[in-house]
Amino acid sequence: RNRPSLRVRMSTIVIYEQVHLTDLTYVKEEECFTFPCPCGDTFTFYIEDLLEGNRIATCPSCSLNIELLVDINDLQSYLQTH
């Protein structure tokens, strides 16, 4: 029996930099963390996205990507104390 081969194309995300929670600025009013981009704009990690497992932020101006290295338990502990 002949079956067509299935090919899955996965997009590759290039990470400019990996950062830690302590590298970010917490903006309580907007429920997010920010990090400066070399282009002058700002990367933003929204808490809701982080809790859902999204650890990559893209700069809205230059499209660089950064990855947040954080454990979900550490994030929840941080939020409880701030």
> Any bridge partners for residue 69, and if so which?
20
pLDDT, position 78: 86
pLDDT, position 60: 95
Q: What is the pTM of this model?
A: 0.81
Q: How does 8-27 read in b/e, with b if 16+ C-beta sit within 10 Å?
A: eeeeeeeebeebebeebeee
Give the pLDDT of the chain (82 residues) as one tens digit per residue: 455 555 555 568 899 999 999 999 999 999 999 999 999 999 999 999 999 999 999 999 998 999 999 988 888 888 888 8
pLDDT, position 6: 54
